[in-house]
């Protein structure tokens, strides 16, 4: 089930790769905006996973070298509306 909340406040942000991320409400799947594109994500997916599924590039080291993502290299930083930047490889898409 995909839905887009009508008047739900959502977080927004800017990825170091130039990606703009707006996180929305969710159930099993939900809609969010990356670089002004509406995309569908599944609960538990990282921002990086969703971006890649929709052809949106965010630079990484861990995924490029087939390593387990832990978010320490900070190459894939995104601003998801919080106080600090988050690593897209480990940051789940959620409110």
For 16-42, b/e burial (b = at least 16 CB within 10 A) is: bbebebbbbbbeeebbbbbbeeebebe
- Answer for the pair 78, 89: CB distance below 8 angstroms, yes or no: no
pLDDT for residue 21 = 54
- Answer for the pair 23, 92: CB distance below 8 angstroms, yes or no: no
pLDDT for residue 69 = 85
Residue 70 CA to residue 29 CA, distance in Å, equals 24
Residue 9 CA to residue 7 CA, distance in Å, equals 6
pLDDT by residue for the chain (95 residues), tens digit each? 333 333 333 333 334 344 545 555 445 899 888 888 899 999 999 999 999 999 999 998 887 777 788 888 899 998 887 889 989 999 998 65
pLDDT for residue 41 = 93
């Amino acid at each position: 089930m995909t839905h887009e909340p009508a008047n739900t406040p959502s977080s927004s942000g800017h990825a170091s790769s130039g990606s703009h991320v707006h996180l929305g409400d969710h159930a099993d799947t939900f809609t969010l905006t990356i670089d002004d594109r509406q995309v569908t994500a599944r609960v538990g997916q990282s921002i990086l996973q969703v971006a890649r599924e929709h052809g949106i590039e965010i630079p990484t080291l861990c995924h490029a070298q087939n390593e387990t993502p832990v978010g320490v290299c900070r190459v894939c930083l995104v601003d998801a509306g919080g106080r600090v930047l988050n690593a897209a490889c480990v940051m789940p898409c959620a409110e």
